[in-house]
A and B are shown apart, each in its own frame.
Chain A
Amino acid sequence: MSIMMSVLVAWLFAVGTYLLLQRALTRIVLGLGLLSHGAVLLLITVGGRAGRPPLVGKGDDGAGIAAPLPQAFALTAIVIGFGVSAFLLALAYRSWVGTANDEVQDDIEDRLAQMADGEGHFRQPDPEEDQPWDEWDDPEGAPKATEPNS
């Protein structure tokens, strides 16, 4: 039982990691979901053998009950994982609505490096052309530069 659970945990972590390394956002979200399932299963597995329900009444010494703490941990973790997944899906959806694609973009430093002039110097950004930072600073329409002498 324990070995099967361990293999399952390992498998969930492996698949989750693989999905996490994909470029599509939905796959990343699914990967995170699988990883959190793996972590929850791990919590249950380390709790030891299955046993009676951990309810101790009068005259009961509590022998043979399952460890209650990991179950409490697992329940908490499931609830949190559920909330986080819902939030991630909502974000992925908004991101898709906003940019109409699901791919993860290149790193921002890479984009800057593409703007470099090949000799290791960043050229002065041209206000007519690409202005990566304005776009990031004020997405709602940054106050665009006017010609100083106009």
Chain B
Amino acid sequence: MSLVVLPVMLPLFAAGITMLAMRSLVAQRVVGLTANLAALGTAVLLLIAVESDGIQAQTVGAWPAGVGITVVADLASAMFLVVSLVVIVLVQVYAIGQGVDEAQPRIGQPVYLVLTAGVALSFLTGDFFNLFVAFEVMLISSYVLLTMGASGKAIRSGMTYVVINVLASTLLLATVGLIYGATGTVNMAELVTRFPELPQSTQAALGILLISVFAIKAALFPFFFWLPDSYPLAPVAVTAVFAGLLTKVGVYTMIRATTILQLDDIRWLLVMAASLTMVVGVVGAIVQSDIKRILSFHIISQVGYMVMGLAIGTVAGLTGAVLYVVHHIPVKTALFLVGGLIEDSTGTGQLHRLGGLVRRAPIYAVLFVIPALSLAGMPPFSGFLAKLAVITAGLQAEEYIMVAASLVASLLTIFSMSKIWAGVFWGTADDPTPAMASADDEDRRLVIDPVTTAATAALVLCTLIVPIFGGTVFDLAERAAMQLLDTTEYLEAVRNS
């Protein structure tokens, strides 16, 4: 059996097993963690295989490509898969530490494993209909995680997320139908040759439809409004994995669709959307006063940078986009996890009720400041490498407005990160929570949970790997970008599968 299908199948099988083992929480946790670790192992092997032997493809069920379901791994998808699975495993440990999966009925672990399978399939799928299926798998499990054990009011806000995403999926289904009607295939490799044969106007219409659907998933301007209202509601482990992964799956599909279908005509749309997303997202973050909501708005702003790389459209631009996704997934998740640690220890995430944590929980300060500076793009962290790549590419391509927008957004990111820093770690709380107020001595340490803190620390260490091996990662990203733009190898690999 080919390596390509394993990252999808292992978590799915494990989901079935954990469902059967509902009575034993320990068994569920062991099986769940083992499966995700195994999936991570296969993903790493897959990345090595792709790196040395070129694109790996497999058509399931001995059908010819074009009829059967194709799964393909190229450098970009393998890299994203590895980073995502690292995050998934560490968040799983964090969730176990927090006891999120203890709630009855014990569906936490199975649903999380299905989510893993959905994310993996979204990265690996080689046809658009299968992408729709992957989205549904991923989203139905995310709906369950989001609304699991929530109260009436939280469910009401979770509905926004559910309705918007179901609508996006329906639109994707209709678009896939139209693509099939126009070209007679939904296989991405076949579309490489057949799509450019369509009339210009049909290409543009289908392209805009497809990009809009992915823009909803990626929370791109003007489709971002659902994200900050729904993400902060879930348990923090769930929010963290959503923040790190789900919008990035949208970005990945957008990159994939744009390069496969060669949508050069509507690049100006992406340029506008990226510029506005960067600025609007960060401006939204500035006015917020709750850690999770500030971070949620930052997701939007950061998605703008990735789409900026895509909108530039050169090898350098796509390299930047790939690097940005690789940098962003662990950094964003780590920030949310730290937010969760603070909430666990103090009982709130509101800035005016927190203060002085730099003395009372110095480990949180360290864990926060590294990803925060990375997000803002300070050297020597991974965000610097990614931002530098995107902005250099923008200057080379003479997209000055977009570059200006990205620099402004960067500056405002530092501003709003320093707002969290000043509110949470410095000063004193205006209106302290019981956990904060109970200490008569201002220097008394907060209670710190070892498991969740260790998981967060491990993730923060992962974000440091990117700058340490900066040269290797950059080379990989550049080769991934060349593979994305030159579709002949992709076509060959799928036809020979």
Give the shortest distance, in Å, between B177 (CB) and chain A (any CB). Answer: 4
Query: Quick check: is B180 within 8 A (CB to CB) of the other chain?
Result: yes
Give the shortest distance, in Å, between B444 (CB) and chain A (any CB). Answer: 15
A43 neighbours in B (Cβ, 8 Å):
173, 176-177, 180
Please name 11 further chain A to chain B contacts, defined as beta carbons within 8 Å, in addition to the given A45-B177, A69-B67, A133-B350, sorted by A numbering.
A20-B163, A40-B173, A46-B181, A91-B155, A91-B159, A98-B155, A107-B229, A135-B153, A145-B353, A145-B431, A145-B434
Within 8 A of B (CB), among A35-50: 35-36, 38-40, 42-43, 45-47
Q: With the chains together, A25 CA to B152 CA distance in Å?
A: 13
Inter-chain contact B152/A97, CB cutoff 8 Å: yes
Query: Quick check: is B437 within 8 A (CB to CB) of the other chain?
Result: yes
Inter-chain contact A32/B166, CB cutoff 8 Å: yes
**Nearest opposing residue in chain B for A29, CB measure:** B163
**Nearest opposing residue in chain A for B163, CB measure:** A28
Partner of B435, one of A47, A92, A143: A143
Interface residues of A (CB under 8 A from B): 20, 25, 28, 32, 35-36, 38-40, 42-43, 45-47, 69-70, 73, 76-77, 80, 83-84, 87-88, 91-92, 94-95, 97-99, 104-105, 107-108, 122, 124-125, 127, 133-140, 142-143, 145-146, 148
B348 neighbours in A (Cβ, 8 Å):
134, 137, 142-143
* Chain B interface residue bracket vs A: 35 or more
Within 8 A of A (CB), among B118-164: 129, 132-133, 136, 140, 143-144, 147, 150-159, 162-163
Inter-chain contact A35/B170, CB cutoff 8 Å: yes
Query: Quick check: is B51 within 8 A (CB to CB) of the other chain?
Result: no
Give the shortest distance, in Å, between B377 (CB) and chain A (any CB). Answer: 28
A148 neighbours in B (Cβ, 8 Å):
431-432, 437
Partner of A127, one of B159, B166, B349, B431: B431
Q: With the chains together, A98 CA to B147 CA distance in Å?
A: 13
**Nearest opposing residue in chain B for A96, CB measure:** B152
Given contacts A98-B152, A107-B229, contact A91 B170 (CB under 8 A): no
21 sample A-B contacts, Cβ–Cβ < 8 Å, listed by A number: A25-B159, A28-B163, A32-B166, A38-B174, A45-B177, A46-B177, A46-B180, A69-B186, A70-B177, A84-B136, A87-B140, A94-B155, A95-B156, A107-B229, A124-B431, A133-B349, A134-B350, A136-B157, A137-B290, A139-B151, A148-B437
Q: With the chains together, A39 CA to B136 CA distance in Å?
A: 15
Given contacts A32-B163, A35-B167, A42-B174, contact A98 B153 (CB under 8 A): yes
Give the shortest distance, in Å, between A4 (CB) and chain B (any CB). Answer: 16
Inter-chain contact A143/B433, CB cutoff 8 Å: yes
Inter-chain contact A39/B177, CB cutoff 8 Å: yes
Query: Quick check: is B97 within 8 A (CB to CB) of the other chain?
Result: no
Given contacts A73-B129, A108-B157, contact A95 B152 (CB under 8 A): yes
Inter-chain contact A99/B430, CB cutoff 8 Å: no
**Nearest opposing residue in chain B for A95, CB measure:** B155
A46 neighbours in B (Cβ, 8 Å):
177-178, 180-181
Inter-chain contact B290/A133, CB cutoff 8 Å: yes
Inter-chain contact A145/B433, CB cutoff 8 Å: yes
Inter-chain contact B173/A39, CB cutoff 8 Å: yes
Q: With the chains together, A47 CA to B179 CA distance in Å?
A: 11
